[in-house]
Structure 1
Amino acid sequence: MPHEFTYDIESAANKAIGGVPIIHYFDFQSRGRGQAVRLLLIDAGAAYKDVRYTFEEWPKYKRSGPVAEMNPTGNIPVIEMPGGKILTQSYAILRHWGRQLGAYDGKTEDEKYWADAICDIVIDWRTLFIAAFFSDNQKEDYPKHQQGDRKRFLNAIETHLKGSDLSRRGPYVIGSKMTYADFVLFQLLHDENLIQDGRKGLQEYPRLVQLADAVQSRPNIKKFFSSDAYLG
């Protein structure tokens, strides 16, 4: 059976997004696209309920039952909102909640474009990471990924952030304002084990260290990382 628990208490942020979300996702520690969704809620001070499935039991729920009916693609995360509203596609969910909260997005078209562009780059990187990490030949494929595609994307994003007039204004993707793209990038850095152990995996990338430090030092996120709810 899936593991269920609720994080935090209902707040004004929950009112803004339409209630307390129920997040259906893998029991994958604090990792994956579903975790980026959680981080936005945590930062905003919103409560949520988790329903976490093990990799072993997920195929059964994917084939039939409520989750399969909620999303015909069979992909998670799937979000249940009060009143029967169903949300799918993690990056669309992040942008949707950002608009409802009046935050986590740029104000100008240039800011919105830059957040979207960095997010798209991270999506491309995550696709390659997942393919290598879950490969049947992981012992060979993942080290190749680390030295190949991962290094290429790290170099590219570091260069983008250093070279952008927007990114130079502060620690985040568009400078001084947090956007959904920061959660997406931070979470992949986490999933690739690059921010752990004193940011050892990012020694060559000071701009990415700056971003990771800024995200993880935000009060609600810092509290979460120190709580039992965070699973490394």
Structure 2
Amino acid sequence: MSRYKLYFFNGRGRAEVSRLIFAIAGQKYEDIRYEGSEWPSYKAEMPLRQMPVLEFEGTKLPQSLSIARFLAKQFNLAGRDNFEQAKVDAVADTISDLLGKFIPPRFEKDKTKKQELMKKFFDEKVPKHLQNLDVLGKLYGNDGPFFVDNHLTWADLLFYDILETLLGIDENCLNNYPWLKQNRAEVEKQPRIAEYLKSRPKTPH
């Protein structure tokens, strides 16, 4: 029986950063994916009636960032001491701020309103948050390509994942941020990540 089971829908979404952590760590796990039509049958089994959920040695843990932070600590991707972990968390929380601004336009049902919200998001919110991330990367990265102390952490994986979604909508959104582009390129070049990206299921988001 696997020590790790990850439950989510059949897409990247909020589970993908954990899958990337498993990939870079070379850790086997059960990647349990539910189709939307199946979810009502399993919802009651999840602690907060939502996913992703990580089951570790028989106990279920909800909340995507809590799962990612736990896994990052398990596999030495969270920072090498308390202050380094705080810097990694500062980057991750800044990425989370960006994601929070993306939720309203992404899930707006009205097509016209969605277009307006998405345009405002990319024109106003994205540059502000990318600038913040650029500042942190240059402040903490020690002149390297990764966000904190010139080695890969889960914050780099989280950024890679979130920007994959944003670049799918606006392929030019990173054009003014060469450091951030280089960061994503370095993540993509990691052999285990490259292998995972080639082999993972192809999903729209």
Tell me the TM-score normalized by structure 1.
Answer: 0.77
1:26-41 aligned within 5 A = 26-28=9-11, 31-41=12-22
Measured at CA, do residues 151 and 75 of structure 1 come closer, stay the same or move farther in structure 2, by a change above 3 Å? Answer: same
The one-letter code of the counterpart of 2:102 is F
The answer to whether residue 72 in structure 2 is matched with residue 91 in structure 1 is: no
**Residue in structure 2 matched with residue 54 of structure 1 by the alignment:** 35
* Structure 1 residue 221, shift from structure 2 partner: 0.6
The one-letter code of the counterpart of 1:39 is L
Please list the CA deviations of residues 88-141 of structure 1 after superposition, one character each: whole Å capped at 9, or x if unmatched: 21212222122222x102123331111011111111111111221111232221
Q: Is the partner of 2:78 in helix, strand or coil?
A: coil
**Residue in structure 1 matched with residue 56 of structure 2 by the alignment:** 81
1:92-171 aligned within 5 A = 92-101=66-75, 103-137=76-110, 138-162=114-138, 164=139, 166-171=140-145
Mapped contact 1:195–1:212 kept (Cα < 8 A):
no
Unaligned regions of 5+ residues in structure 1, if any?
1-17
* Structure 1 residue 24, shift from structure 2 partner: 1.4
Count of aligned residue pairs for this structure pair: 201
Please list the CA deviations of residues 130-182 of structure 1 after superposition, one character each: whole Å capped at 9, or x if unmatched: 221111232221122111211211122112222x1x31332111132211111
Mapped contact 1:189–1:195 kept (Cα < 8 A):
no
**Residue in structure 2 matched with residue 4 of structure 1 by the alignment:** none
The answer to whether residue 160 in structure 2 is matched with residue 219 in structure 1 is: no
**Residue in structure 2 matched with residue 183 of structure 1 by the alignment:** 157
RMSD: 2.3
1:190-229 aligned within 5 A = 190-193=164-167, 200-227=172-199, 229=201
* Structure 1 residue 50, shift from structure 2 partner: 2.2
2:147 aligned to 146, 153, 173, which one?
Answer: 173
1:18-29 aligned within 5 A = 19-28=2-11
Please list the CA deviations of residues 2-61 of structure 1 after superposition, one character each: whole Å capped at 9, or x if unmatched: xxxxxxxxxxxxxxxx94422211222xx3220001000011111222222334553x24
* Structure 1 residue 195, shift from structure 2 partner: 10
Measured at CA, do residues 152 and 194 of structure 1 come closer, stay the same or move farther in structure 2, by a change above 3 Å? Answer: farther
Mapped contact 2:136–2:147 kept (Cα < 8 A):
no
Unaligned regions of 5+ residues in structure 2, if any?
none
Runs of 4+ deviating beyond 3 Å: 54-58, 194-197, 228-232
